[in-house]
Amino acid sequence: MCGIFGYIGEERPLQLWLDGLSRLEYRGYDSCGVATIKNDFIFIKKQQGKILDLRTNLKNLSLEKFNIGIAHTRWATHGKPNNLNAHPHIDCGKKIAIVHNGIIENYLLLKEMLLAERHKFLSQTDTEVITHLIEKFYQGNLLGAILKCVKELKGSFAIAIISTYQPKQLIGIRKGSPLILGLTDKGQFLASDIPAILPLTKKVVYLEDEQIAILEKDKVNIFDFEGRPNRVNIERINIKEEQALKKGFPHFMLKEIFEQPEVLDKTFLLYLKKEKIHFPQLNLKESFLKNLKNIFITACGTAYHAGYLGKYFLEKYCGVNVYIDVASEFRYRNFNLPNRSLLISISQSGETADTLFATRDAKSKKIKVLSICNMLGSSLAKISDNLILTPAGPEIGVASTKAYTAQILVLILFSLYLAKIKNIISEKFYQDAIVELKAIPNLIREILGQSKKIKSIADKFSKFGCFLFLGRGINYPSALEGALKLKEISYIPAEGYPAGEMKHGPIALIDEYRAVVCIAVYDNLYEKMVSNIQEIKARNGKVLAILNYQDIQASKLSDEAIYIPRLKNQDFSPLLIAPVLQLFAYYVAKNLGKEIDQPRNLAKSVTVE
Ligand code: AGP
C-alpha cells in the first residue's frame, strides 16, 4: 500500500506536498518523491528512504513556490525500494508524470507491447507502464488518452497525474484503491487517505471506483471510465484534526491504545439507545435474522482475530453455525454458502484486497454481507449492503489496537442483538450483559493505569528470542492477537496457540530461553491453564501470566503476572486482555528501539493481494 498526495491551486512551497505526504507515511515508507511543473518542464525529485531525507534534499527549493504537484510514499510491490523504482514515474517525452497506489496485474504484457513500440523504461515497476500507455494514446486530448489507458489496465489503482500537456489540471483516477479529493476555494487536493487532507479542509469527495477527477485551481469535474460526467458528491468530514495527530504521545500506537476507553464509549453512544442495542445502518430484516442458520466470517490479521472472537460469541449466544477463514483462503475455498447465510467481513481500513475480493465473491453468490469497518467511504463500506461502523477514528499505527477492541465490542453487541431477536437469551441476561459491557471502558482505564508495571515486565522479557502465547476458549483468539502484536512491531518470533495443543508439539520448544504468555483468567478452563503453567515451569520455561485480581494458584507458579479485573461474564474478558498485550508488545518493541508506528516490511492496509 502506498500514499499519494496532490495539489493544484494558488502557489505554495514544496513543504505543502511533503507535509501531506508525511501524514500518509504509515501507508508505506521505503522510498518517496515529488513532481511539479517548472517553466513548462516536469521537475521530479525522488529517492529511496524516508520523507525526512527527501525534505533535506529539497532544501534548495524551499523558497520557491509551485501551483501544481504530486507526491508519493511507497511500499514496494514490484521492483526493489531504490531511487529508480521510487515514484513519480515519467513517459519518454517527459510530458506526463504519475504516482500510483495498487497493482497493475497485466503490466508485463503491456510493457512488452510498449517496449516493442520503442518506449524506454527506467524502472522495474508495474506503475511505469501507465505513463507510457498515456503517451502512446495521447493525440492532443489528455482525458481521451487516459480513458483509453484505463481500459487496458487490469488490477487496482489510484493514480495522480500532472502533465505539461495540461499544466492547469491535476488528474486523479480510482479503481480498487482509495482516492479522496479535498476542496477549498484556493486550491484542490487529492490523497490516499483522510489524515493527509484533515488539516487542509473538511470538504471532501470520496472518489468512487472507475472515476476520473479533473481538478483545476477553482473547480473539479468527475467522469466515469466511459468519459461521461458524474455528480461531484461533496461531504464534510467530522474527524477533528487532533484525532489524527499524536496528542503528545511518543507513538501513534500508544496514543491509540490509550484512546480505547473513549472509542468503546463512542460505540455505546452509537449502538445503544435507552439500553437497547440497535444498528441504524443494518438493512437485515428481523425475519431473515430470526431464521439465520449459517454465518461466515472473513478478515485478515487482527480483524481476523476479532472475527474469531465473534465466532465464539455467535455460536454461544445465537445457536448458529459459524465458519471463519482468513480472507486470502476464504476466497479460494468452495464454501457452499447455503441461502439464509450471512457473511460478516471485518476490516479496519476497508481497503484490504483479500477481504474485498472475498466479499465481492460472496456478493456475487447472492450472500448477504454485513461489514464491520472503521473507514466510512472505504471500498468495503461502499460495496456492503449492511454496515456497522467502528467509531475508532483514524488508526495511524500500523499495529491495529483501538480498531480491534471496537470490532470485538461490535461483535458482542451484534451477538446479543441477534440472540434477542432469536429469543435465545432472556431480557435479564441481555440487560445484565449491557450493564457489564458499559463498565468495560473504565476497567480499561484502570488497566492502562498499570502501564508502568507492564513496561517493567516487558523490559525483563525483551531479552527472550521467541514467545508462545497460550489461551483457551474465548481467549485463544486473544493469544493469537497478542502474538501478532508482539511479532509485528518487535520482530521477535511469536506464536499464538490453543493451550490444549501444547502437548501435541509446542511443548518441545520449552526451555529456559523460551517465554510463554499464559492467559489464565477465572473461567471454566482456568484449572487447565494452571496445569499448562505447571508443565511449562517443569521445563524451566519463563511464564508471564495474565490473571484476575486475587488470583492464588497461577500467580504462585508464574515468573511474572499482570492482573485484570474479574468480570461476571468472562466472555467479555478479551476486551480487558487486549490492552494488556498491546502495551506489553509496545514496551518490548520500545525497549528494543524498533520503529513502532512503521514496522519494517509492513503497511497499514494491504491493498494488494
Ligand atoms: C494488525 O496489527 C496488522 N497491521 C494487520 O494484520 C491488519 O490487521 C490486517 O492487515 C487487516 O487490515 P484491515 O483490518 O485494515 O483489513
d(CA 433, CA 59): 58
Q: Whole-prediction pTM value?
A: 0.77
Q: How much distance in Å is there from the Cα of 109 to the middle of ligand 1?
A: 32
Let me know if the fold of 246-444 is the same as that of 449-597: yes
Q: How much distance in Å is there from the Cα of 606 to the middle of ligand 1?
A: 8
Ligand 1 nearest atom to the CA of residue 380, by list position: 16
SS (H, E, C) 339-383: CCEEEEEEECCCCCHHHHHHHHHHHHCCCEEEEEECCCCCHHHHH
Cell 425475519 found at: 287
Q: Which three cell numbers stand for residue 5?
A: 498526495
Name the pLDDT band for 123 (thresholds 50, 70, 90).
very high
Taking CA atoms, 99 is separated from 13, 126, 153, 158, in Å, by 20, 11, 15, 8
For residue 533, the model assigns a pLDDT of 97
Q: What is the DSSP string of 274-289?
A: TTEE--TT----HHHH
Amino acid identity at 246: K
d(CA 496, CA 585): 14
Non-local CB neighbours of 157 within 8 Å, separated by 6+ positions? 100, 101, 102, 103, 104, 130, 173, 174, 175, 176, 177
Mutating to test ligand 1, I would choose from 177, 253, 348, 356 the residue with most ligand atoms within 8 A of its C-beta, which is 348
Q: Does ligand 1 have an atom closer than 6 angstroms to the CB of 374?
A: no
Q: Whose CA is nearest to atom 7 of ligand 1?
A: 301
d(CA 470, CA 529): 9
User: Average of pLDDT values for 173-192?
Assistant: 94
Whether 422 is catalytic is no
Cross-strand bridge partners of residue 6: 70, 190
Q: Does ligand 1 have an atom closer than 6 angstroms to the CB of 488?
A: yes
Name the residue ranges covered by the structural domains of the chain.
3-242, 246-444, 449-597
Q: Does ligand 1 have an atom closer than 6 angstroms to the CB of 379?
A: no
Non-local CB neighbours of 301 within 8 Å, separated by 6+ positions? 400, 484
At 350-365, the pLDDT tens digits run 999 999 999 998 888 8
Q: Does ligand 1 have an atom closer than 6 angstroms to the CB of 400?
A: yes
d(CA 243, CA 253): 13
CA 113 to chain centre: 36
For residue 242, the model assigns a pLDDT of 64
Non-local CB neighbours of 140 within 8 Å, separated by 6+ positions? none
Q: Whose CA is nearest to atom 5 of ligand 1?
A: 301
Q: What is the DSSP string of 145-171?
A: HHHHHHHH--EEEEEEEEETTSTT-EE
Number of CB atoms found within 10 A of residue 274's CB: 5
**What angle in degrees, to the nearest 10, is found between the helix axes of 451-461 and 574-591?**
50
Residue spans of beta strands (DSSP E) within 217-259: 219-224, 229-230, 235-236
Q: How many residues does the chain have?
A: 609
Q: β-strands 467-471, 515-519: how paired?
A: parallel
For residue 244, the model assigns a pLDDT of 64
Name the pLDDT band for 346 (thresholds 50, 70, 90).
very high
Q: How much distance in Å is there from the Cα of 500 to the middle of ligand 1?
A: 27
d(CA 239, CA 392): 10
Q: Whose CA is nearest to atom 6 of ligand 1?
A: 301
Q: Does ligand 1 have an atom closer than 6 angstroms to the CB of 378?
A: no
For residue 458, the model assigns a pLDDT of 98
User: Average of pLDDT values for 255-277?
Assistant: 94
- What CATH number should be reported for the domain whose range is 3-242? 3.60.20.10
- For residue 404, pLDDT beyond 90: yes
Whether 2 is catalytic is yes
State residue 485 phi and psi, 5-degree precision: -55, -45
Is residue 584 within a helix (H) or strand (E), and if so which, with residue range? helix 574-591
Non-local CB neighbours of 591 within 8 Å, separated by 6+ positions? 458, 459, 462
Q: How much distance in Å is there from the Cα of 401 to the middle of ligand 1?
A: 10
Catalytic member of 50, 485, 590, 604: 604
> Quick check: 207 and 222 in contact, CB under 8 A?
yes
Largest Cα–Cα distance of the chain, in whole Å?
80
Mutating to test ligand 1, I would choose from 27, 352, 407 the residue with most ligand atoms within 8 A of its C-beta, which is 352
Cross-strand bridge partners of residue 386: 370
- For residue 542, pLDDT beyond 70: yes
Q: Does ligand 1 have an atom closer than 6 angstroms to the CB of 302?
A: yes
- For residue 265, pLDDT beyond 70: yes
Top CATH class, 246-444: alpha beta
Q: Does ligand 1 have an atom closer than 6 angstroms to the CB of 303?
A: yes
At 25-38, the pLDDT tens digits run 877 778 999 999 98
Non-local CB neighbours of 593 within 8 Å, separated by 6+ positions? none
Q: Whose CA is nearest to atom 16 of ligand 1?
A: 347
Q: How much distance in Å is there from the Cα of 26 to the middle of ligand 1?
A: 13
Catalytic member of 2, 149, 300, 318: 2
Q: How much distance in Å is there from the Cα of 406 to the middle of ligand 1?
A: 14
Cell 465490542 found at: 409
Q: Which three cell numbers stand for residue 300?
A: 485478515
Domain 449-597 architecture: 3-Layer(aba) Sandwich (3.40)
Which has the closest alpha carbon to 397: 116, 170, 589, 154? 589
Ligand 1 nearest atom to the CA of residue 400, by list position: 2
Helix (H, G, I), strand (E, B) or coil at 318: helix
Q: How much distance in Å is there from the Cα of 161 to the middle of ligand 1?
A: 29
> Quick check: 571 and 580 in contact, CB under 8 A?
no
Ligand 1 nearest atom to the CA of residue 301, by list position: 6
For a pLDDT cut of 70, what percent of the chain falls above it? 99
- For residue 289, pLDDT beyond 70: yes
